[in-house]
Amino acid sequence: MTSIRPDELAERLESGDDPFLLDIRPKSAFQSNAIENSHNLPVYQALRRGDDAALRDRLEEIPADEDVVVICKMGMVAKRATSLLVEEGYDAATLAGGMSGWTGYRNGSLGYKLRSLLWRLR
């Protein structure tokens, strides 16, 4: 399973190498806090219940010719979506730590710094 750390995503976005940011969280969560230029496909709850059809039914909304970074709350459900996308031939990765990790990175939180250190050691 491929993942991308928040700092790596930030570097890509800053350099203009923008992947397709697929935020699978519920619409309300997306509206309250989202990465700029991300696209909301609110299939989080369905995937959490094991309903892959919710995402499969909407694959036409995801460009097949772009790198895709999947975003959820903490990264766990996004892993399921990323796996499904890879099975379908997409070049997809999960945002490590999800929006929690992204927010921690942007705020420079101690929790993010510790988590980032663990990611780098793996």
Beta-carbon-side half-sphere exposure of residue 79 (alpha carbons within 13 Å): 8
Specify whether the CB–CB gap between 6 and 105 falls below 8 A. Answer: yes
The counts of H helices and E strands in the chain are: 7, 5
Containing structural domain, residue 84:
3-121
Question: What's the domain count of the chain?
Answer: 1
Retrieve residue 101's tokens.
């990790």
- How far is CA 102 from each of CA 85, 86, 118, rounded to the nearest angstrom? 21, 22, 15
* CATH label of the domain that carries residue 32: 3.40.250.10
pLDDT in tens, the chain (122 residues): 599 999 999 999 999 999 999 999 999 999 999 999 999 999 999 999 999 999 999 999 999 999 999 999 999 999 999 999 999 999 999 999 999 999 988 887 666 666 666 766 76
pTM: 0.89
3-class SS of residue 119: helix
